[in-house]
Structures are given as structure tokens and as C-alpha cells.
């Protein structure tokens, strides 16, 4: 069989296969987190910078929890992020923190500047176990740096809780 005929049959087979695939394949989850949940977007955390403005915009649309991991609001979370009285400020810090824990390898740092309250955050995930990870970080409020460290555990896929 001539090579041109083989190539044309190969191309036709590939086209038929592509047409047979369901359209949702285009929406495949590109990022698999530590909890096993798949995510379409890393929101910049794998490059070391959580895109806080995008996170804020998505939070205002009301669909952010399906798009990003997050840390639940607890007293332990509020002791780290003392400037998160505003719901929008909380959404940014909670989701940037959670997505960092979900996707970022140990020792790699992620930073963000909360556009709602101006708080800067530098966060580095540490060692992991089956459902928990350690972390080390710094918040910067009005030029004053405060260090924090601890452990965060995941009770369910995409959700994290700071341990006291």
C-alpha cells in the first residue's frame, strides 16, 4: 500500500477518534491536589504567586469554592489572618492558603497581596502525611511582619482545617 494512502487512513482514523471523544474532555482537570481532587486552574500558586485579584473576582461571582481549595474559617485561621473581618478579604486568604496547601510541593513558597485589605502573605508548605501538611509563613500588615507556623489537615477533598 502506498505511503500516501496509509497517511490518509491514519488521519481519517485520528479525526474519527477525536470526533468520538466527549466534549467534556476539553474540561479535563489539569491539576491534581494532595487531597486527590482535580482542579482546572492553579491560580498562579505553582508559579509562586497566588493571583489574588482573580481570586477576588471569582469570589464575587460566587463559584470559587468549586474552583479552588480553601481553608475553613476557624479561630485558628483568624489568629493568623487577623485582618480578615471582611468577607471578601477572607475569601482571598482562605482560597490562596488552601490552594497552596493543595497543589504546591513542600518547600516551595507562594505569596499574595490581598487586594481587599492590603495584607501581604508569604506561605511555604512543608512535610505531608496522608491527610495533613505542615506550613510556615509570614503576614505583613502595615509593614509589620508576623511569622506563623502549624499544621493543616484535610477532612475532605479540597477542604483544609488549621490544627490548634
End-to-end CA distance of the chain: 71
Give tens-digit pLDDT for 21-41: 443 333 446 888 888 899 999
CB 105 within 8 A of CB 46: no
Residue 119 included in any domain: yes
pTM of the complete model beyond 0.75: yes
Say if residues 128 and 35 touch (Cβ distance below 8 Å).
no
Is residue 162 within 8 Å of residue 80, measured between CB atoms?
Answer: yes
5 falls within a domain? no
Using alpha carbons, select from 105, 91, 88, 89 the residue that is nearest to residue 45.
105
Number of domains making up the chain: 1
Q: Is residue 23 assigned to a domain?
A: no
Domain extent for 124: 29-162
The answer to the question of residue 117 being in a domain is yes
The Cα 50–Cα 112 span in angstroms is 5
88 closest CA partner among 118, 67, 110:
118
Range list of H helices, the chain: 3-20, 52-61, 64-67, 75-80, 87-103
Q: How far is residue 112's CA from residue 94's CA, in Å, rounded to a whole number?
A: 12
- Exposed, middle or buried by CB within 10 Å (0-12, 13-18, 19+), for 109? middle
**Residue 164 to residue 90: CA distance in whole angstroms:** 19
What digits encode the pLDDT tens for the residues 56-97? 989 888 878 788 988 887 777 777 877 666 677 888 999 999
| Residue 157 domain flag | yes
How do residues 110-149 score in pLDDT, each as one tens digit? Answer: 999 999 999 999 999 998 888 999 999 999 999 999 999 9
Residue 83 lies in a domain: yes
Q: Is residue 149 part of a domain?
A: yes
Is 8 a domain residue? no
Amino acid at each position: 500500500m502506498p505511503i500516501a494512502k496509509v497517511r490518509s487512513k491514519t488521519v481519517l482514523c485520528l479525526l474519527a477518534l477525536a470526533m468520538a471523544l466527549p466534549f467534556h474532555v476539553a474540561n479535563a482537570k489539569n491539576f491534581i491536589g494532595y487531597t486527590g481532587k482535580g482542579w482546572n486552574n492553579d491560580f498562579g500558586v505553582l508559579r509562586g504567586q497566588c493571583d489574588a485579584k482573580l481570586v477576588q473576582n471569582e469570589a464575587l461571582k460566587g463559584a470559587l469554592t468549586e474552583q479552588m481549595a480553601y481553608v475553613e474559617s476557624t479561630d485558628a485561621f483568624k489568629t493568623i489572618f487577623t485582618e480578615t473581618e471582611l468577607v471578601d478579604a477572607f475569601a482571598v486568604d482562605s482560597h490562596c492558603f488552601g490552594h497552596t496547601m493543595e497543589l504546591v510541593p513542600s518547600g516551595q513558597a507562594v505569596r499574595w497581596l490581598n487586594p481587599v485589605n492590603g495584607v501581604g502573605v508569604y506561605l511555604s508548605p512543608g512535610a505531608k502525611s496522608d491527610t495533613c501538611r505542615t506550613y510556615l509563613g509570614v503576614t505583613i500588615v502595615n509593614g509589620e511582619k508576623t511569622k506563623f507556623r502549624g499544621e493543616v489537615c484535610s477532612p475532605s477533598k479540597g477542604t483544609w482545617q488549621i490544627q490548634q
